[in-house]
Structure 1
Amino acid sequence: MGYPKDLLQSRSIIKHGLYALIAPEGLVNNSVPGFENCYVSILGSPRLGASFVDYIITMYEGGKNLRGFGGDADVETFLYVVEGNVKVTAQDKEHNLTQGGYIYCPPGTKMTMENVEKGESKIFLYKQTYKPLEGTPEPWLVTGNSNDIEEVEYDGNKEMRIKDLLPADFSFDMNFHILTFDPGACHPFIETHVQEHGAYLLSGEGLYNLDNEWIPVKKDDYIFMGPYVQQACYAVGREKLSYVYSKDCNRDADLKK
């Protein structure tokens, strides 16, 4: 990479427990057991204040994890293909996931993954401790492709649309969504809620309100939004702004901090 041509500077903003904007220029490779020929960057994590762990991973040609990801009795995982072609094996079945493809693995299910693209693939990866709900069945493995899911208007706003990637079922304590804004569109109000998010920008540019600070964001940025942090987005520029993000749901608030 060599020496910089200007002053060292970064767009990234870290407010532990509140929010974070992590720009791709500052990401470093983390050596995580099982990942071979991959560039693994850990994004959101409990050290940042999140209750989950998010990763953005570039799988070089031949990149893989055959040791497996997840598999602990109380850990659920999710994989989304940002670009490329990845073969994922879970519960003794192979799933070839291309751009927009995803898989949710319930607690106790380990997934392995291989890049089968002639070139690089990029994946957004997630894990969280599952919160069981008494009297409710365990969640099940879900796989699909976001390109096959119909967009739904967000709060009656035609210029802002959402896709739900997982079933709306109390067996699941979280969901993944894709939110898309036409140029100039925005949230109908500034949201303030107990849920937290980890979001990866798939396209476009925007201004994001985080804790009442308007912050420029763009494709390949990562945003962590902690509980009760004010949040909203304006899409700017010439193309749609879109991001994939997690949301905890279907559970009451804990009395523990």
Structure 2
Amino acid sequence: MGYPTDLLSSRAVIEPGKYAVIPPEGRVNNVVPGFENCTMTILGSPKLGATFVDYILTFHEGGKNTDGFGGQDNIETFVCVLEGKVKAKADDEEFILESGGYLYCPPSVTMYLENLEDGDSRLFLYKQKHKPLEGKKPWVVSGNTNDLEEVEYEGMHNMRLKDLLPTDIAFDMNFHILTFDPAGSHPFIETHVQQHGAYLLSGEGVYNLDNKWQTVKKEDYIYMAPYCLQATYAVGREPLSYLYSKDCNRDEDL
């Protein structure tokens, strides 16, 4: 909400190093070199406490990234198309990604993106430094979330999970989609060393973050730091679903 039609107010909640809820209202455009004809907002970042960077990106007609994304400094990247159609390249390998389409590039591979729509295409974008494991190397992965198997989570019939990347130990992170039917919830309040960046794809809910209940809905972004207490109830008339990252398959450094 905002001036001149209403009082200045926001649903955003920012607790650096703990958690954040960032709704679409109030987001500002960040200019990132190499990305053309686009509107981009940096969401999760090290300034918030994350070890990764999440973006929400809208390519307008002719939008593209000309300098490449990742492919150096040990940075791995991921993109998921929320709406529209883009051409994605992993070095010389080309993919056409429509709604639900995604691409993961390991740190040795540069990602290029180009909007194929006459109008806008909306994307979720991610990068982080890869934590290598001797003798193991991740590889390029592409698919579409609409084609993935959905399995019950922790025996909960009203809570389902999709894995977007292989569970192979070569990968130090994964992306998942969690979906809750209305009135569905986590089986318990989680407390763990992993951190998450989550983008809500549909529905509404109340999310327990550090034992404080926050209202959330479609297009909100949530950052959850390591050891942040977390769980949700789905409310409303449609399933609550979100795309989120999770670090995995590595020991903790001393």
TM-score by length of 2: 0.98
Q: CA deviation at 1:175?
A: 0.1
**Residue matched to 2:13:** 13
Q: CA deviation at 1:91?
A: 2.5
Q: Following superposition, which runs of at least 4 residues in structure 1 exceed 6 angstroms of deviation?
A: none
1:86 matched to 2:76? The reply is: no
**Residue matched to 1:186:** 185
Deviations 1:10-61 (A, max 9, x none): 1000000000000100110011001111001000000000000000001112
Q: CA RMSD in A?
A: 1.2
Alignment of 1:1-257 (within 5 A): 3-135=3-135, 137-255=136-254
Q: CA deviation at 1:63?
A: 1.0
8 Å contact kept, 2:162–2:177: yes
Deviations 1:58-108 (A, max 9, x none): 111211112211111411000011111011011302100001100000012
Query: CA separation in 1, counterparts of 2:66 and 2:164?
Result: 25
Q: Secondary structure at the match of 1:25?
A: coil
Structure 2: any 5+ residue segments left out of the alignment? none
Query: CA separation in 2, counterparts of 1:81 and 1:194?
Result: 28
Query: CA separation in 2, counterparts of 1:239 and 1:254?
Result: 41
Deviations 1:174-211 (A, max 9, x none): 00000000011000000000000000000000000000
Q: Secondary structure at the match of 1:117?
A: coil
Structure 1: any 5+ residue segments left out of the alignment? none
Q: Residue 183 of structure 1 aligns to which amino acid in structure 2?
A: P
Deviations 1:212-236 (A, max 9, x none): 0110000000000000000001000
Greater mean alpha carbon deviation, residues 106-115 or residues 220-229:
106-115
8 Å contact kept, 2:53–2:127: yes
Greater mean alpha carbon deviation, residues 2-11 or residues 119-128:
2-11
8 Å contact kept, 2:91–2:112: no
Q: CA deviation at 1:118?
A: 2.5
TM-score by length of 1: 0.97
Q: Secondary structure at the match of 1:69?
A: coil
Aligned residues with identical type, % of pairs = 68
